Amino acid sequence: MVKAVLTTKVDPSYDDLPEHRYHFPRTYLRQVEAAKGDWIVYYEPRRSSADPSSRGGRQAYFATARIASVIPDPTTPDHFYALVDSYLDFPRPVPFQEGGSYYEAGLQRADGGTSKGAFGRAVRALPDAEYERIVQAAFATLLPRPDAAQPLPASEIAGFAQEQEAFERPIIERVVARPFREAAFAGSVKLAYADTCAFTGLKIINGGGRSEVQAAHIRPVAADGPDSLRNGLALCSTFHWMFDRGLISIADDHQLLLAKGVVPPAAERLINPDRILLAPRRADQAPHPVFLRWHRENVFKG
């Protein structure tokens, strides 16, 4: 097994749903097969779609997952799907280079510039040490250095290659562990929603400076829902409870749907007057229709 980088656009030309699957042509079959059973990171390029003139991509690593299996595409010849599990968004997307250092050594030419040829490959093998540096940078506030109380500054990340053995087990173990994943998921959701309840617009910060809003899964983890920002909502505790029990749901156009006769009038008065979800500013961080549909079909009592 070997780790890998999988490139996917904001508006992918392939049938990608990074939380569940990665669609690719036979060209990359050997590299993807080699990573089966191991971890990958997703990379978002500058181009946001198949249009060569498109822009807006973050040019950053934005999530990690594990390739569970590789299967043929039943409808398109010479195309395949990598089915993934354990998906986890990065609270901090990691640029491909910081401070003049590249997280993937293969992307840097001998003269110090960026290798466009290497960047042109949508699937790239990723050594363990490079994977660990990317993950450490992404979760710096949750993965403190073992020899210091403070998180590792991004400017130092490229310089600790010799320390990787000390990080190997803790990084993998923490990425898999449920408490770590919950903390990472909550951090991503609260940041995207600016600590504001998506149903009411309420933003309450307690005396310790912590937000009272909660991170809710649209499709629960117990029902194979991923720890993805697009499967998350920032909600006040009462509305989190009502959403989990199907009293409120969300249409694909972000209209809030209320189950008839079960939402208390006092709670209904707190909901956004236009009954439209307060979604993140970035469209690619908003709830994905796949997860919204699951909630309407399996939880909503409307």
List pLDDT tens digits, range 121-159: 999 999 999 999 999 999 988 876 544 444 444 444 444
- Is the distance from CB of 194 to CB of 202 less than 8 angstroms? no
Whole-angstrom distance, CA of residue 240 vs CA of residue 217: 9
**Averaged pLDDT for residues 66-95:** 97
- pLDDT, residue 286, reads 97
**Averaged pLDDT for residues 76-98:** 96
Whole-angstrom distance, CA of residue 157 vs CA of residue 141: 13
Whole-angstrom distance, CA of residue 250 vs CA of residue 216: 13
Comparing C-alpha atoms, which of 216, 188, 193, 214 is closest to residue 89? 188
- Domains in the chain, please, with CATH? 3-176 (3.10.590.10), 191-298 (no CATH)
Confidence of residue 222 (pLDDT cuts 50, 70, 90): very high
List pLDDT tens digits, range 258-275: 999 999 999 999 999 999
Tell me the pairing of strands 3-7 and 123-126: antiparallel
| Strand, helix or coil for residue 145 | coil
